[in-house]
Structure 1
């Protein structure tokens, strides 16, 4: 996968589109698949795409038992658990709202860092940014709208999205602490973590009593797009952008992904947007911008 400077703007735009549209594809996939079937298709197709890139680049997967133990933990917290929570939540809330909650990932990573990495302590400005971002997430959550039993499912779905981003936070900190020091090629790490998750899910699918699949053209196309772009190529694009432009510029895709997600949900699915959602999203984005003004704590989004 080329990382020539002239291609970086295209890769940046593709990355924002891939991650921003992921929740649209999940929503469409749920029209013919169960949440577990959506996640299994995403992981399986993504693993095949990454494996093809691995072979084309001539990179080998590590053989160390220590690596595979760590990468299994990463796969659980970076892929299986959050992908499953987002897919389940997509049954009850809009794709745009899911994409807004996904933007809290850097804040959740910082929150986990406070507990897990004593050597990376945030400064006062970063704590202010964290508080602002979490307040923004609370505005998006809109607890004042959740009175009554008919709102229990949407509220639980939104909390599931926050649980997914918290899982991302755990995964990124675990990656930094146990996998990054191994200095392995990114495509090998990505292929291993997605591949392990795919094997686990494919093995569990026949045992979980899933309903019959309705493989319409739109469902198939959405799963191919979600697997190849959102779960496969996006890893490579992100790595190229970090290498070419630096981590701070690469991290700004976090600001664009929810805008793409909300816009696609409105334009393609006809979803509505409540007043509190863009206001809360601005609070989340402002909090992320403040926490990243001083790069002592690095966070990533997938």
Structure 2
């Protein structure tokens, strides 16, 4: 960093620019949390007229178009390294295509609020994948306890004491956990293989979503050539899910990660379920049973332990 001028009159910078910058990041953090929390509502509405694969196809293509517009405006050049393209293709599959398909299929059988609650298990999955699969970090006793507590929280949400009839709802819940496991693998994969590429937040998001959209376009004959039923609500939900939830919100989140760091930025996990549950109740008339918020609170406590936050707060 350049040295500060020695003149006393200018040695102390005015705080206004810094406050504005922090405020802008906080606004992006909040907007990303609201948009991602709303995504479960958008998916639920879109599924009333589209098949799950059609929802994923639409959100990825629209997200890629939105992000491509930002790249064109900024006139950023695509990376030339085949290594980068290879790693980004892996991320396109594991961070977008597979989990998006699992979420869209599962939301045919579970409420949008419950899907948003299960989405909060992503940090627990990330800790597991980072330590046991990709070995980018080691687990301490506190982190192991956090993972175990998170698993207990998931069991509370599933509520096995009510009886497990292996209905589509239960299978759908495990499908969502499979999707969050994909997210956890992808986040650990990013840390190990693409943390030093030098790409901007816009370019990183564009490659991630753009490659996933290209995969869906290639698979179009097998995935989306089925009848659709459209109305203004379905169209609006798909556009918002694609352009905002799979487009602009990714840039906002990348900016937050780079400004606040991954640990602080990951607190968006606590915001999205609140938004998702609230919208499901207020707009879709969904009902919440006692075990779902209780299980979510147990999962959140597990996240705090898995990320060593409780120890830092005591310190």
TM-score, normalising length: structure 1: 0.91
Instruction: Measure, in 2, the Cα distance between the counterparts of 1:223 and 1:261.
Output: 16
State the alpha-carbon separation in 1 of the partners of residues 135 and 250 from structure 2.
Answer: 28
Change (3 A) 1:97 1:243: same
RMSD: 1.8
Q: Deviations over 1:199-246 (max 9, x none)?
A: 111221223364211121111110111111111111111122233333
Match of 1:27 among 40, 44, 63: 44
Q: Where does residue 58 of structure 1 map in the other structure?
A: 75
2:194 is paired with a residue of what secondary structure?
A: helix
Cα distance change of structure 1 residues 86 and 224 upon mapping to structure 2, 3 Å threshold: same
Match of 1:174 in 2: 189
Indicate which of 116, 135, 160 corresponds to 1:99. Answer: 116
* TM-aligned CA distance change 1:93 to 1:119, over 3 Å: closer
Partner of 1:161: 176
User: Counterparts of 1:102-181 in structure 2 under 5 Å?
Assistant: 102-148=119-165, 151-181=166-196
Q: Does residue 201 of structure 1 match 2:216?
A: yes
Aligned pairs, number: 292
- 1:88 maps to 105
- Bigger radius of gyration among the two: 2
Alpha-carbon distance, 1:42 to partner: 0.5
Change (3 A) 1:212 1:165: same
Query: 9-18 or 254-263, which moves further after superposition?
Result: 9-18
**Helix, strand or coil at the partner of 2:171:** helix
Deviation (angstroms), 1:11: 1.4
Q: Is the 8 A contact 1:12 1:237 kept in 2?
A: yes
Give a deviation string over 1:244-279, Cα, whole Å, max 9, x none: 333333211111111111110000000011111000
Unaligned 5+ residue runs, structure 2? 1-19
Match of 2:237 among 222, 240, 250: 222
- Indicate conservation of the 8 Å contact 2:57/2:224, yes or no: no
Q: Report matched runs for 1:41-56 at 5 Å.
A: 41-56=58-73
Query: Match of 1:213, SS?
Result: coil
Gapped regions of structure 1 (runs ≥ 5): 297-302
Distance 1:248 1:65, change over 3 A: closer
Q: Compared with structure 1, are the counterparts of its residues 244 and 189 closer, same or farther at alpha carbon in structure 2 (3 Å cutoff)? A: closer
1:273-288, aligned counterparts within 5 Å? 273-288=288-303
Which of the numbers 52, 56, 69 marks the counterpart of 1:39?
Answer: 56
Match of 1:242 in 2: 257
Shift of 1:86: 0.2
